[in-house]
């Protein structure tokens, strides 16, 4: 798990995003047919009313904050900051995003989904802080 540094968690989250893409179309196309929504004539309101809307919204969410995750993981990899703590944080982020997806696509219980999103955001902030330390934006002098 640690031999590929920060790259394996990136690949894992891309795989998960593709899983959500398949899930989205596997639920959206039948839902559109059942509701009589034509692809070229679908309005945003009609699409949001479909039972597959939460899966589609989650797929869109995987195009948002995770892009920062990808950038910071590559930065840490290039900076040779593939310490166990960073790799562990990256895997924690991936796990939290998968849990977030499952919550949103199934029950969509907002308080729990927000908690998981917040935890993932804190993990992303920690990774970003480590990258900032590696490039000298943030410095600590522990020796006096």
Per residue in 80-102, pLDDT tens?
A: 999 999 999 999 999 999 999 99
What distance in Å separates the CA atoms of residue 129 and residue 137, rounded to the nearest whole number? 9
pTM, full prediction: 0.91
Per residue in 46-91, pLDDT tens?
A: 888 888 899 999 999 999 999 999 999 999 999 999 999 999 999 9
Residue 34 or 115, more confident: 115
CA 119 to chain centre: 12
| 140 lies in some domain | no
| 143 lies in some domain | no
Q: What separation in angstroms does the CA of 109 have from each of 25, 91, 92, 112, 114? A: 22, 24, 21, 6, 9
The structural domain count of the chain equals: 1
| 28 lies in some domain | yes
CATH of the domain at 21: 1.20.120
For residue 37, the enclosing domain spans 7-134
What distance in Å separates the CA atoms of residue 134 and residue 144, rounded to the nearest whole number? 21
């Amino acid at each position: 798990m640690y031999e590929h540094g920060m790259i394996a968690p990136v690949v894992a989250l891309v795989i998960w995003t593709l899983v959500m893409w398949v899930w989205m179309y596997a639920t959206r196309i039948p839902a559109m047919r059942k509701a009589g929504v034509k692809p070229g004539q679908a309005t945003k309101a009609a699409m949001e009313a479909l039972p597959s809307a939460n899966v589609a919204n989650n797929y869109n969410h995987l195009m948002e904050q995770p892009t920062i995750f990808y950038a910071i993981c590559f930065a840490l990899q290039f900076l040779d900051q593939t310490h166990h703590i960073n790799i562990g944080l990256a895997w924690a982020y991936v796990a939290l995003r998968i849990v977030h997806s499952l919550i949103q696509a199934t029950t969509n219980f907002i308080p729990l989904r927000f908690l998981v999103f917040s935890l993932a955001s804190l993990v992303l902030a920690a990774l970003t802080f480590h990258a900032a330390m590696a490039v000298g934006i943030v410095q600590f002098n522990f020796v006096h």
